[in-house]
Structure 1
Amino acid sequence: MLRQLSLHHDYVLLLVQDGYYLEALRYARRNKVNSIRPSLFLESAYASNDSQHLAAVLRFLADFIPGFKNTSDHSSYCRILNDMNSSIAG
């Protein structure tokens, strides 16, 4: 229903809150929803404890948000991803 009312921002937030952050990213890109904080997606991906999902979210944000690689969110979550991967390998 939110999609039918063109409440794209609210729909994306609902998807993220329900744990569907990858689907939310795809929907946000497809519908040009750029008002959602990147940290919302990153926090959800981190909470999943899945390094592949966190890497996918980081890559998506780096590819589609100009200047994202220069943000503190990018630096912080890259460090977190490296820690996750080193704990898996070690």
Structure 2
Amino acid sequence: MSEKKRSFLIRFLSAALPLLLVLYVLSVGPVSGYINTPSGVRKDVSPESMERIATFYAPLSWVVRSNDILLKIADKYVDFWIRIF
């Protein structure tokens, strides 16, 4: 691989990976807002979909549940999105 291509790849990855990580963390709110309503879980979301979503967000859930401050912030963030939807 030429030095120019390698440099471009490193710059792209150094920008894309943090952006994808931030989008992953922020996406939990809209997803939770869509699935949950103030009256409960939506009826049109299948158990298989719920399982896939839980698996996808498992690393984030583990981190948030291991820190009380993050848990409070996440609860407020998710509640905000539930009220919007």
TM-score under structure 1 length normalisation = 0.34
Of structures 1 and 2, the larger Rg is shown by 2
User: In proportion to residue count, which structure has more strand?
Assistant: 2
User: In proportion to residue count, which structure has more helix?
Assistant: 2
TM-score under structure 2 length normalisation = 0.35
